[in-house]
Structure 1
Amino acid sequence: MEYNREQLIEAVSAQMPEKRWTHTLGVMETAVQLARRYGADPVKADLAAILHDVSKYWTIEKMRNILVEHKLNDELLLHDKQLWHAEVGAFTAREVYGITDPEILDAIRYHTSGRVGMTLLDKVVCLADYIEPGRDFPGVHNLRELAQHSLEGALAGGFDSTISHLIARKQIIYPLTVLSRNDLIKQLEENI
């Protein structure tokens, strides 16, 4: 079945609590703004943002089964379950909602961890998830300010925040997040 935008919104919003849907609406708005500011496709940014948390509130068991049965990134099983919904969400976007654009699927897949060599759309959706208007964590206002003139700088700052938070809680850091952060720092240094 092919979904139009309204059907997609209806189907996705039904899979999460109202508070998470409000977050998704903020990510949609922010992703489109960032896409326009930095030259990404705003339609793709909107679509990826609608779907970015589609499986966030599924049971751990359901996500584990999808990861295992469909031979998705099984390294995720060794890491925090908060990372699983991004991979499962990309799978669901393709298999359930018929999204075939690899750029949109990757933006969903990497919106939590980032990756080395992030595309412009990856960066837009990931940063939108960090700085949408409903987010409230130490330093988020600085990230929003930075996002006005440096997509990579703001996103690196977002990863710094995540990594610092995990270190403070003595939690394991997903290696791809560190690699993503380092890659963004290299991009920033190359542009000086």
Structure 2
Amino acid sequence: MKVGIMVESNQEFNKIAPINFIAEVLCNVDSYNDLHFSQKRHLKEYGYTEETVEQVMELRDCDKDEARRFIALGMFLGCTFGDLDESFEADANWPNQYSAFGTDYLVGTDDELTDAARNYIFDEGCYDDLWRQAVQAQQTELGLEDWLNDVLDNDGWCNILNHYDGKYEEYTVGKDIICVSRT
């Protein structure tokens, strides 16, 4: 099978290069294990094409959304296709949560992750006590729904869903910008 993504063979470069530097030079590889999300160009300068998304869909037998998320997580982690393919798992309970190498990640578009945060704070009721405390301390006069919307608008999805460090990275994959964050 011939697919296109550059194979990076310089192991020392892989160890010291920042993970936000990524790939692209179309070349021929004989095995999907040789596909590498390497450090040749900064992501914001390039991003992966729809052709690459189609290739990952074929290799992983998955839909376009999962292929984009897979590619973005691979760029975030700076790993080979084969390594990520062996470890990549979707969480059945959270549509935008994936695990790789024993760590959980949120992966999706900004809109998808904002919707997930909205569902989390509205449906799970996890912020209700904080609202009650804010009302009791006279720090807000807003009703619960307005206060939750205010929290989401001001804090953003990542501060609500990312319990690790509140940070995320954006990657251009095909036509979409995909966000990746630890949980």
TM-score under structure 2 length normalisation: 0.31
Richer in helix (by share): 1
TM-score under structure 1 length normalisation: 0.30
